[in-house]
Amino acid sequence: MTIQTRYTPLNAFLAYLQFEKRYSLHTITAYSNDLIQFFDFVETQFEGLSFDQITGTMVRSWLAGMKEEEMTGKTLNRKISSLKSFYKYQIQQGKITKSPMETVISPKISKRLPAFVAENDMEQLFVNLSFAEGWKGYTEKMVIQLFYATGMRLSELIGCKENQLDLSKRIIKVLGKGNKERMLPISPELAIELKKYIAQKPKEALGNPSLFVTEKGKTLQPKAVYTFVKFYLSQVTTLQKKSPHVLRHSFATHLMNNGADLNAVKELLGHSSLAATQVYTHNTIEKLKEVFAKTHPKA
């Protein structure tokens, strides 16, 4: 599927993201929306201006307008990143020699620590919580187990196919961001559970390669997964955010709190750099402070 816009320079860039960078449709759509919004602004404010005549002042004017509308620093940074990527591509293609983004500074944003579910609350979820009856509840429990056991992203889990599992070796091959593959280990117990789940799939799922399916044999939809994860997490935690990504944060935080190597956690999460993984060390420090306060006589 190719995204097309009325802006010719943008179409070539989006095709580059799709076919050369192999970005996901979700990411390409985000880039497209940001850039169309910017070019619409330029067209409205500076009629007849070509994209190679755009200046840093015009970009800052666009950003200032959104800031006045109380858009978050995180969202503004994403839009700046989209524009930087677009102009970097134009320079690579020889369309322009200088990017207007050179004079645009990204706003600083305060880093929030990732929200995570406490270990004993996760234990409560699997041991004491009642899941829905039948195939629906069985699937929902298995999905949450796999999220917490592997730290997969929502898109990775929904896109996971049966042939990505090697249950004899207890390994799942995951296709992550930028189509990067990584191998995730699973416990012997989970391997047995997944084998049982696959064996009991409804006959309607015949021909569907997806690992997880509905009662009608269809591939799970992101919105449905988000909804049931939020429902079950609300039974065991008072966290404001209750999403599949919180289970990913919980996976990483619990690994770090129990002494896992930072590089190993980076590989398991599929991060491209350590910087993204290091945020979990802050939670580890908080855990150490808690232990110190409870156990040291002079604390």
Q: How far is CA 128 from the centre of its chain?
A: 29
Give catalytic residue positions.
153, 177, 245, 248, 271, 280
Instruction: Decide if 255 contacts 265 (C-beta within 8 A).
Output: yes
Give the whole-angstrom CA distance, residue 3 versus residue 25: 9
Record the tokens describing residue 184, joined without a space. Answer: 């995730």
Burial of 87 (0-12, 13-18, 19+ CB in 10 A): buried
CA proximity to 148, closest of 167, 130, 124, 166? 124
* 79: CB partners within 8 A, 6+ apart: 34, 37, 38, 63, 66
CA proximity to 154, closest of 216, 229, 236? 229
Q: How many residues belong to the chain?
A: 299
Sheet holding 171-175, edge to edge: 165-166, 171-175, 181-185
